A and B are shown apart, each in its own frame.
Chain A
Amino acid sequence: MGAKVITITSGKGGVGKTTTTANLGIALARMDQKVVVIDADIGLRNLDIVMGLENRIVYDLVDIIEGRCKLRQALIKHKLFPELYLIPAAQTRDKTAVSPADMIQLTDQMRQEFDYILIDSPAGIERGFRNAVAPADEVLIVTNPEVSAVRDADRVIGLLEAENKKAPRLILNRAKVEQIRKGEMLSAEDVTDILAIKLIGIVPEDDQVVPSSNSGVPITLNDNSRAGQAFRNIARRLMGEDVPFMTLDEPTSLLKRLGRLFAGGKGN
């Protein structure tokens, strides 16, 4: 049985591709899957930071492709999960150092050994994006509930259609319940209505995501985080489980309701 290659892309930058890749990698590894995550954003490497592996880098993606090291040598083992590995991007080169054919060859070398190969795509629709999607068996589109992110996602889906790729699935990231309810933000229905692809997960906005990424401990390791839970659910859906979508409403514990009362009904 060979690995499944899944590329995470978005068109627009800053919507949460890297956060998603790191969290899905960890969530899959927690379920005893053998996983490699590849940072395909050459020149702007940061998946290593989010995964807390920056200081272990010796070789990178371009080193493998240009034959300066063996594939094995560039695989960085995760601190907590012995079967989760990272291939970091090169920091000092640019996207032209890698071709789509290189990416296909690289992933083919690893298919026998792993269950999942996740590729973190750079933003945009140029060479770096082409490199990232070339070997993909499945593509996940990350978007935010805002018009500009959805517009770019639409463009990317169109490009994937032109390449005859399997229909991608959608992750709606950073959904703010309160704003969606007030109609200030697009709802999941609004977004899927425009993009007409299947939703694989909705990740609620969570203040803890940025600090956890900064400290190299992705949010999905935090069992109390709703965003972390959302990523774990997406990982289970990737594995073919039928996990119901969680309700976006925040848990209304007595404490929270009291808190809201004291906040003067501002809502949070």
Chain B
Amino acid sequence: MRDSLVTIKGVKDGLLVTISPFEEWGLVTGDLAARLDQQSAFFSGARITIDVGARPVRKDELHSLRALFERRGMTLYAVTSESSTTIDAASALDLRAHFITPAPPAQTSDGQVAFNPEEDGTIGVMIRRTLRSGRTVHSQGHVVVYGDVNAGAEIIAAGDVIVWGKLRGNVHAGANGDESAVIAALDMTPTQIRIAGFISMPPSEKRRKTRPEVALIRENRIIVEVWEA
């Protein structure tokens, strides 16, 4: 059996299933099912994290994968991927999603990084809908929401968080300690915002005019300023 398609290993809070990012999806899931069935007694009850690498996995595919685990008494708990399609699908299914920034381009043989005329940019997740109460997004990059972030929803990102809509929920930017991270929203009335190790609650003043604002750290505290185009 080609065990390059799927690897299963024990991690501290369950099993980590790594899936080949390139082989055909049907082939991979078939292989996975066979592997699980061989040792079903051993795996039963386990909490599963899957790592699909760069593969974009659609919501329906992820849904049937979850069912595949459930039929064998396992719970799909988290998804790790470099693809924002996969991350979106995972958050749509209420799974924990970990976004991994892809590895940087390889160096050339003489030790020089190959010249790339394109602006590097940084990696993020794009969420094209409103995050309602109870939804959580975890990302190792930036998060952009085209929609609102309602009270009761939560975004935790290693990078910046940009909300093209109303921010009413909880946001933690620079969650790995990056104090240069920012939070921006068209209307900033969050429940709580955090940047790196700093926490800020909005003033409980009455409604004011809606305007785009940016939160950032200055002199060891979070300040919110009007965003001027």
Q: Which A positions have Cβ atoms within 8 angstroms of B?
A: 151-152, 154-155, 157-159, 161-162, 194, 196
Q: For B94, what are the chain A residues with a Cβ–Cβ distance below 8 Å?
A: 162
Measured in the bound complex, the distance between the Cα atoms of B135 and A28 in whole Å is 36
**Secondary structure call for the A interface:** helix
Which of B93, B133, B148 contacts A196 (CB under 8 A)? B148
Contacts of B152 in A (CB 8 A): 151, 154-155
On B, residues with C-beta under 8 Å from A are 92-94, 129-135, 148, 150-152, 168
Instruction: List residues of chain A with CB within 8 A of the CB of B130.
Output: 196
Q: What chain B residues lie within 8 Å of A152 (beta carbons)?
A: 133
Query: Given A194-B150, A196-B148, are A158 and B93 also a contact pair (CB < 8 Å)?
Result: no
Please tell me if the beta carbons of A151 and B133 are within 8 angstroms of each other in the complex.
yes
Interface-central residue, B131, B134, B151, by most chain A CB under 10 Å: B134
Q: Which B residues touch A154, using CB under 8 A?
A: 132-134, 150-152
Q: Which residues of B contact A196 (CB under 8 A)?
A: 130, 148
Please tell me if the beta carbons of B133 and A155 are within 8 angstroms of each other in the complex: yes
List residues of chain B with CB within 8 A of the CB of A155: 132-134, 152
Of the listed residues A154, A157, A162, the one surrounded by the most CB atoms of chain B closer than 10 A to its CB is: A154
Task: List, in ascending order, chain A residues with CB within 8 A of B131's CB.
Answer: 158
Q: Given A162-B94, A196-B130, A151–B151 Cβ distance below 8 Å?
A: yes
Q: Is the CB of B168 within 8 A of A194?
A: yes
A-B contact pairs, 17 of them (CB 8 A): A151-B133, A152-B133, A154-B132, A154-B133, A154-B150, A154-B151, A154-B152, A155-B132, A158-B133, A158-B135, A161-B132, A162-B92, A194-B150, A194-B151, A194-B168, A196-B130, A196-B148
A97 to B131, CA, bound (A): 33
A15 to B193, CA, bound (A): 31
Residues of A within 8 A of B134 (CB): 154-155, 158-159
> Bound complex: CA of A161 vs CA of B132, how far in Å?
10
Least CB separation from B147: chain A residue: A196
- C-alpha spacing A154/B151, complex, angstroms: 9
- Least CB distance from A196 to B in Å reads 6
Shortest C-beta distance, B206 to chain A (Å), equals 8
Closest Cβ of chain B to A146, distance in Å, is: 13
CB pair B150–A162 under 8 Å, yes or no, is no
In the complex, A157 Cα to B131 Cα: how many Å? 11
Shortest distance between the CB of A78 and any CB in chain B (Å)? 37
User: Could you say which residues of chain B place their CB within 8 Å of the CB of A158?
Assistant: 131-135
B59 to chain A, nearest CB (A): 9
Chain A: minimal CB distance from B175 (Å)? 23
Determine the distance from Cα of A93 to Cα of B131 in the docked complex, in whole angstroms.
Answer: 36
- Which chain A residues border B92 with CB–CB below 8 Å? 162
Cα–Cα distance between A194 and B165 once the two chains are bound (Å): 11
Complex-state Cα separation, A162 to B91, whole angstroms: 10
A155-B133, A157-B132, A162-B92 are known; give 11 further A-B pairs, CB within 8 A: A154-B132, A154-B134, A154-B151, A155-B132, A155-B152, A158-B131, A158-B135, A161-B129, A162-B93, A194-B150, A196-B130
Query: In the complex, A159→B129 CA distance in Å?
Result: 13
Q: How far is the CB of A134 from chain B (nearest CB, A)?
A: 16
* Min CB–CB distance B71 → chain A (angstroms): 16
A158 to B169, CA, bound (A): 14
How far is B94's CA from A196's CA once the two chains are assembled, in angstroms? Answer: 20
In this complex, the member of A157, A158, A159, A162 whose beta carbon has the largest number of chain B beta carbons within 10 angstroms is A158
Q: A158–B92 Cα gap in the complex (Å)? A: 9
Q: How far is the CB of B226 from chain A (nearest CB, A)?
A: 22
CA distance A151 to B133 in the complex (A): 7
- Nearest first, the 7 closest Cβ-Cβ pairs linking A and B are A158-B132, A154-B133, A155-B133, A155-B134, A154-B132, A154-B150, A151-B133
Q: When chains A and B are docked, how far (Å) is the Cα of A155 from the Cα of B134?
A: 6
B90 → chain A, closest Cβ, in Å?
12
Min Cβ gap B55→A in Å is 22
Contacts of B129 in A (CB 8 A): 161
List residues of chain B with CB within 8 A of the CB of A162.
Answer: 92-94
Contacting residues, chain B, for A161 (C-beta < 8 A): 129, 132
- Shortest beta-carbon distance, B70 to chain A, in Å? 15
Q: Which residues of A contact B133 (CB under 8 A)?
A: 151-152, 154-155, 158
CB B169 to nearest CB in A, in angstroms, measures 10
A161 to B131, CA, bound (A): 11
